[in-house]
Amino acid sequence: MTANRAILNVAALAELVRSAQPPTLLDVRWTLAKDGRAAYTAGHLPGAVFADLDEDLCGPPGAGGRHPLPDPAALEDALRRLGVRAGHPVVVYDAGGANPTGAAARAWWTLRWAGIENVRVLDGGYQAWVESGQTVTTEVPDVDEGDITVRPGGMPVWTEVEASDPRNTLLDARISARYRGEIEPVDARAGHIPGAHNRPAAETVDEHGLLRPAEAPGHEVGAYCGSGVTAAQLVLQGAATALYVGSWSHWITDPSRPIATGEA
């Protein structure tokens, strides 16, 4: 199976961090309840800057869903503020663990969508870094202004049109109970998009939070979740190729769109 070039292990990143030209490191720890700023303040990788998934990497919530695509100009301003430079590698990481939030995957996907090719994700996230005995710090680095230019279109994006086409394969990355419509802790309506197959994001990683390999699909496969964050984990793994960014939070904005419950 071909190695996933989007993934970087702890040992490789530790060597890069100590090099004369370390990558731009973005800490994107995040959960539905809060961003990871407090966790970043308590300790982070040397040289890492905190990127707010909600404020820096997504558009404002609304008709497009809870985490829509960002305005390209606003994203460019945020990335430059975070020190992202043209031609310079970027590594993103989140908390890691056996229940991925998808934050690092969505950050990776967004930067790739923005036309930035040299972006990788730390396999296992902050948890793997700490468990391997690597150095952490509370020092906030001084960041030189970046010069990146955002050029949208670098990753396949699905809308409700592709997601509702019965000829397409669509994966739902939410936990099974949400997929079946038994619970819905976040959005106003429960259930799933008709025809979607449940592929919980937790299945993308092993018990240590390390990414499991996946066979690349022989055709385009879309992924969605509640708001297009966790589903990016399926794209990162290689189980899906396209992201329905608006996801369930966008699907339910139109009451005419059908909703399925129960098993597929």
DSSP 3-state of 93: strand
Residues 152, 154, 160, 162: what is their CA dihedral angle, to the nearest 10 degrees?
140
| Contact indicator for 67, 229 with CB cutoff of 8 Å | yes
Pick the closest to residue 237 from 197, 199, 205 (CA basis).
Answer: 205
Q: What is the pLDDT of residues 171-209, one digit of tens each?
A: 999 999 999 999 999 999 999 999 999 999 999 999 999
CB neighbours of residue 5 within 10 Å: 7
Q: Whose structure tokens read 């385009």? A: 220
Q: Got the DSSP string for 229-252? A: STTHHHHHHTS-SEEESSHHHHHT
DSSP 3-state of 169: strand
Name the token pair of 193: 């998009």
List domains and CATH numbers for the chain.
7-131 (3.40.250.10), 157-251 (3.40.250.10)
Q: Whose structure tokens read 């992201």? A: 243
| Contact indicator for 138, 54 with CB cutoff of 8 Å | no
In the predicted structure, residue 1 carries a pLDDT above the cut 60:
no
Q: What is the pLDDT of residues 207-256, one digit of tens each?
A: 999 999 998 898 999 999 999 999 999 999 999 999 999 999 999 999 99
Sequence-distant (≥ 6) Cβ neighbours of residue 198 within 8 angstroms: 171, 172, 174, 176, 179, 180, 192, 264
Q: What is the pLDDT of residues 30-81, one digit of tens each?
A: 998 888 999 999 999 999 999 999 999 999 999 999 999 999 999 999 999 9
The sign of the torsion formed by the CA atoms of 250, 223, 87, 96 equals positive
In the predicted structure, residue 10 carries a pLDDT above the cut 80:
yes
pLDDT value of residue 250: 98
Q: Where are the alpha helices (DSSP H) in the chain?
A: 10-17, 37-42, 53-56, 72-81, 103-113, 125-131, 160-163, 176-180, 232-237, 247-251
Catalytic residue at 58?
A: no
Instruction: Using only the alpha carbons of the chain, give its radius of gyration.
Output: 18
Catalytic residue among 111, 225, 231, 235: 225
